[in-house]
Structure 1
């Protein structure tokens, strides 16, 4: 039996997504191997043929991949980036920056926050609490217990959006209406080596932010392995159907 190597970022979210994609590939008679990659390793891994499929790249954020001749297919989910707040804080409509005690975000969100500062100059007055993706949940649980009121800027999907801790704030879209799409990237020449029906199935595969947040929660919070989480989702156990 032949096998395909799936490359993905070394986070619970991307590992779970890769396992979900792998289930489609395995159902078509191919074995799967996995490669954990850093953000700057993905393109080189595709160029060198170390991976066959990248799961996933976000476009237009990762448009540089398009210039290297690799094929992009599918539309797995649409990452969103909005300001949000702890639901217990009760901010909602009519919020203003001065309502918050700090700005909690991940490092990859910083450029979007800086751009939003042109619209909300008072963002520069908030102390920035920059955390890893993995630390978002415990940090916000700590803030909730302490009665703090951080303004939150993190990508969705994320495990915390599988809980009811946060509410999305109106008029807080940090992407300014731009649509991001998580897609699969096939290394150059792969289409000629694999079954066309399998690629057709991958092209129409849809996960959604809701499913991805549930998968992330299953892996990073509930302690499931990525493959176990993907199977649980496929059997309808993560999200009632």
Structure 2
């Protein structure tokens, strides 16, 4: 095996993660062809063999992708959906009307967010801003610059969490960790070098590294390959 198609979702977080994995493949003299996709495109791309290695699937949410001839491989980081804010806020159940000036989330998380807000009296009348996924960082920073107390619903890791001032706001309904795993095509795994598969299965990035990589790409203007190299050389965050 000399080439491998590496698929990832079309956003900075997943592109950076895929580039980090590609550095391991490169060390095994595997030429990587990147395939970026929207989430709803993944099943068909897996079915037609366009993607050999997917980086990454969030389990258990994406467990259905296994049915498309894929095998789970390793755990790269542990994503979790949370509320977070730059303001010092009490747990969500202790919020009082007026403490939050705006709720912000990106389109992929809108439905989950609204289901929680509907069950939270203190949040029911708070204005909501829904933005594109790649505009969440700028939208939150704009609210901060305006002095608006914003409560953000998002998944960690994210570029925003590279700033220690951006902190989780407790909510007992949230906080369940997922596993960000690679998925390799069964037919590819059958003929791949076992040492390479073992190295991939043991590879760990962690949420802190992923947040820093996301920020490097979204905010600092690095391309995913540059961010992955910075991680590998220890210049991104301590590993």
Q: Provide the residue aligned with 1:235 in structure 2.
A: 233
Asked if structure 2 preserves the Cα contact closer than 8 Å seen for 1:5 and 1:33, the reply is yes
| Aligned partner of 1:218 among 203, 210, 216 | 216
- Residue 67 of structure 1: how far off its partner (Å): 2.5
**Residue deviations 1:159-195 (CA, integer Å, cap 9, x gap):** 111113411112x2553x5331111111231111210
Quick check: 1:183 aligned with 2:176?
no
2-structure distance, mates of 1:22, 1:210: 19
Pairwise mapping of residues 1-241 of structure 1 onto structure 2 (< 5 A)? Answer: 2-86=2-86, 89-92=87-90, 95-96=94-95, 98=97, 99-117=99-117, 119-170=119-170, 172=171, 174-175=173-174, 177-241=175-239
Asked if structure 1 preserves the Cα contact closer than 8 Å seen for 2:46 and 2:69, the reply is no
The TM-score, its normalising length taken from structure 2, stands at 0.92
RMSD, matched Cα: 1.8
Residue segments in structure 2 that go unaligned for 5+ positions in a row: none
- Residue 114 of structure 1: how far off its partner (Å): 3.0
Q: How many pairs does the alignment contain?
A: 237
2-structure distance, mates of 1:156, 1:92: 19
- Residue 92 of structure 1: how far off its partner (Å): 4.1
Residue segments in structure 1 that go unaligned for 5+ positions in a row: none
1-structure distance, mates of 2:100, 2:70: 44
The TM-score, its normalising length taken from structure 1, stands at 0.91
Q: Report the 3-state secondary structure (helix = DSSP H, G, I; strand = E; otherwise coil) of the residue aligned with 1:125.
A: coil
1-structure distance, mates of 2:208, 2:35: 25
- Residue 134 of structure 1: how far off its partner (Å): 1.9
2-structure distance, mates of 1:55, 1:105: 24
